[in-house]
Chains A and B, each alone.
Chain A
Amino acid sequence: MLATNPTQVVFKRPKTLAQVPTHYCPGCTHGVAHRLIAEVLDEMGLREKAIGVAPVGCSVFAYNYFDCDFVEAAHGRAPAMATGIKRVLPDRTVFTYQGDGDLASIGMAEILHAAARGENFTVVFINNAIYGMTGGQMAPTTLPGQKTTSSPSGRDVEQMGFPIRMAEILSTLDGAGYIVRRSLHDPKNIRLAKKALRLAFEAQQRGLGFSMVEMLSTCPTNWGIPPIESLRWVEEHMVPVYPLEDFKVSPSLAGLRL
């Protein structure tokens, strides 16, 4: 049997994903997002040109998990750091990886202005509706009524305001070339998320300006919901608040067949 039917590799670790176990909790989709980035960088042959900017948040160690050059930013400042790198090295592929506290709270000014300037780098935005790393406090993306350690009786919008939809906001800026929202809650959506990532990096390759893929992600640990149910929670509770849409796609990407 073996002699006539040699084994065929149908699934392997992407080259750009380092050979190390991650520290993410079981059922957390940060790891899925990492893998998608690594696959896309491999497919586009960008590993040697890529420079990643890690955030402060659960993915603070992202730099350990990618086999490409990396820097580690201050909380929320990844877009400013990426701006500095990309302006000096315009032919490298620069990307930031940021959580929702990092990007939509403390780093709001940096992300907005990077998008407005049309900085030609790619942002992978992980929206898990909570502060993971610090133990489950309310994020700007926390859903109305959602319980967190700093909104113990649920997010009261009268007192704590409303969730921020970053993809929608950034898509209003002329500097943005590609802004979409995807979700990591099932295989179909994961495939769509990967395709979006590919387009985001294609946008950067073509110099179309700022690109961002927002990804709805899980935090079973701090939500206090088991992994499988967490995936369902994303679909049932997050998707209605954060619609999975293309908010801005530069016409130059329209004809692209992937």
Chain B
Amino acid sequence: MPRELLKGNEAIAEAGVRAGVQAYFGYPITPQTELLEYMSWRMPQLGRTFLQAESEVAAINMVYGAACTGARVMSSSSSPGVSLMMEGISYIAGTEVPVVLIDVMRGGPGLGNIAPSQGDYNQIVHGGGHGDYHPIVLAPASVQEAIDLTVLAFDLADKYRTVVVVLADGNIGQMMEPAELPPMQDIRTEYPDWAVRGAQGRERRLLSSIYIDPNVEEVLNYRIMQRWNEIQKNEIRYKEYYLEDAEYAVIGFGTAGRVALSAVRAARAEGIRVGLFRPISLSPYPYARIEALANQVKVMLVTEMNAGQMLEDVQKATNGRIPIEFYGRMGGVMPFPDEILAEIQRIAHSLVPFDENPRQSWMKRHAELLGTLQGKQ
């Protein structure tokens, strides 16, 4: 396929179409809306299902119902809408049906704003709905990667009968980049042996997340955790840049990782031996690889578009063995490469105090930055 100039949201939508999605349900919310709008003409054009739901609560439950038929289904939203979907996500996890969900994150908490953010890391990776379940979470840093991860998301959802979230941010959704679309897959004609499609010539089937006997519910929980173990074994994904001889590692996912790459290149040009580690699967998280990196580099710098949500996972992986520093922008603000470069320089040219809490020290430095910014207004 030739490379075309594609907008992130539309590219994700078309990637879903080409992965054979049979039904899409969603609700408008910026900065995700182009995805829904694209589906509104593209799906009917192909004779497939598009429906604008009355809310994200309804959208996720429509997706839940459609997924029970064994069809490939998806929804998309942005942070406040995804908060509303948490009930449905937990039910889908408890029923073990495959669903793909795109979250194009925006600034929060609350209504926040429509600027790019990574504030949903905790709600998607570590929680959200009630009960023990782990969605697979994939974080793209370019339009091309958003396309590829969307296709992968459908395969993983089917393989593990789980929810897969493509966790993008407003920047990925809104930006235009040259990218290549995958070939068109056929709509499936054979359905899994659990699909509820009418009991024609067979015993009836039931799909449910209720197990009224706690002992049976425990068996379900165990099965979900076994599958999660498999996922942790097989589905860790990340990308490394300039890490072979690095003394310092920057860690960032999605857009923050992409901005950090520019900063790393600039630092390299100054002779600083720094590399970038960019987790792609946020769940399962590449703890082991980060742990290994802690044996190689002197300091790690975590950079995020939130107040250090992934930072805690890096700290868990490194377990206090090396100093960790943090640089974040919050509320919909994107860091510039210069800001991250300045952090790399600061770390490389001075001793980093070992015992300080990286979030606290970042907040102290950040207070000065916010002061200067306010002074400029």
CB contacts (< 8 Å) of B61 on chain A: these are 73-74, 77, 80-81, 84, 110
List which B195-252 residues lie within 8 A (CB) of chain A: 196-201, 204-210, 212
Smallest CB separation, A170 vs chain B (Å): 14
Scan B83-109; emit 1 where CB is below 8 A from any A CB, else 0: 000011001000100000000000000
Closest to A67 in B: B204
- Interface residue? B55 (CB, 8 A): yes
Q: Write the A32-44 contact mask toward B (1 if CB under 8 angstroms, else 0).
A: 0000000000000
In the complex, are the beta carbons of A53 and B58 less than 8 A apart? no
Please tell me if the beta carbons of A84 and B198 are within 8 angstroms of each other in the complex. no
Residue A3 is within 8 A (CB to CB) of chain B in the complex: no
A49 on interface, CB distance cutoff 8 Å: yes
Evaluate contact between B204 and A83: CB separation under 8 angstroms: no
Within the complex, which residue of B54, B62, B199, B209 is in contact with A84, where a contact is CB–CB below 8 Å?
Answer: B62
- Interface flag for A254 (CB, 8 Å): no
A82-B54 contact given A69-B205, A70-B204, CB 8 Å threshold: no
**Given A48-B199, A77-B57, A113-B58: A84 and B64 within 8 A (CB)?**
yes
Q: Is B51 an interface residue (CB 8 A)?
A: yes
Main secondary structure of the interface of B (DSSP, over half): mixed
Given A77-B88, A82-B65, A89-B69 in contact, is the A70-B206 Cβ separation under 8 Å? yes
Docked complex Cα distance between A74 and B88 (Å): 8
0/1 string, A148-181, CB within 8 A of B gives 1: 0000000000000000000000000000000000
Check: A228 CB closer than 8 A to any chain B CB: no
- By a CB distance below 8 angstroms, the chain B residues around A70 are 196, 204-208
**Which of the residues B67, B200, B210 comes within 8 Å of A72, measured between beta carbons?**
B210
B22 close to chain A: CB less than 8 A: yes
**A92 to B, closest residue via Cβ:** B198
- CB neighbours (8 Å) of A256 from chain B are none
Pair count A-B, CB < 8 A: 129
Q: Are A87 and B49 in contact, CB atoms less than 8 angstroms apart?
A: yes
Residues of A contacting B206 in the complex (Cβ-Cβ under 8 angstroms): 63, 69-72
**A73 CB → nearest B CB, Å:** 7
User: What is the distance, in angstroms, from B16's C-beta to the closest C-beta of chain A?
Assistant: 15
Residue of B nearest to A72 (CB): B208
User: Whole-angstrom distance between the alpha carbons of A57 and B91 in the complex?
Assistant: 16
The interface residues of chain A lying within 8 Å CB-to-CB of B65 are: 53, 71, 73, 80-85
B146 interfacial by beta-carbon distance below 8 Å: no
Q: Is the CB of B49 within 8 A of A88?
A: yes
Q: Which of under 10, 10 to 19, 20 to 34, or 35 or more describes the interface residues of B?
A: 35 or more
A216 within 8 A of B: no
B53 interface residue per 8 A CB criterion: yes
Q: Which residues of A contact B168 (CB under 8 A)?
A: none
Is there a chain A Cβ closer than 8 Å to B294's Cβ? no
Interface string of B290-311 (1 = CB under 8 A from A): 0000000000000000000000
Is B69 touching A48 in the complex (CB atoms < 8 A)? no
Q: Which residue of A lies closest to B60 (CB)?
A: A80
Residues A109 and B57 in contact in the complex (CB < 8 Å), given A71-B208, A83-B62, A84-B66? yes
Complex: A89 Cα to B191 Cα, angstroms: 13
Most buried by B among A51, A60, A80, A113: A80
B87: nearest chain-A partner, CB-CB: A74
B197 near A51: Cβ-Cβ < 8 Å? yes
**A253 touches B (CB below 8 Å):** no
Is the pair B210, A80 in contact by a Cβ cutoff of 8 Å?
no
A70 to B57 Cα, complex, angstroms: 21
Residues of B within 8 A of A199 (CB): none
Q: Is A88 a contact partner of B23 (Cβ separation < 8 A)?
A: yes
Given contacts A68-B199, A68-B204, contact A88 B88 (CB under 8 A): no
Residues on B facing A (Cβ under 8 Å): 22-23, 25, 49, 51, 53-55, 57-59, 61-69, 71, 73, 87-88, 91, 95, 196-201, 204-210, 212
Closest 4 A-B residue pairs measured CB to CB? A84-B65, A81-B65, A80-B61, A72-B208
Q: Given contacts A71-B68, A77-B88, could you give 6 more A-B pairs where the C-beta distance is less than 8 Å?
A: A50-B199, A51-B197, A69-B197, A85-B65, A88-B22, A110-B57
A-B contact pairs, 29 of them (CB 8 A): A49-B200, A51-B196, A53-B65, A61-B212, A63-B206, A67-B199, A69-B205, A71-B206, A71-B207, A72-B206, A72-B208, A72-B209, A74-B88, A77-B61, A81-B61, A81-B62, A81-B65, A81-B68, A82-B65, A83-B62, A84-B69, A85-B65, A85-B69, A88-B71, A92-B197, A109-B54, A110-B58, A113-B53, A113-B58
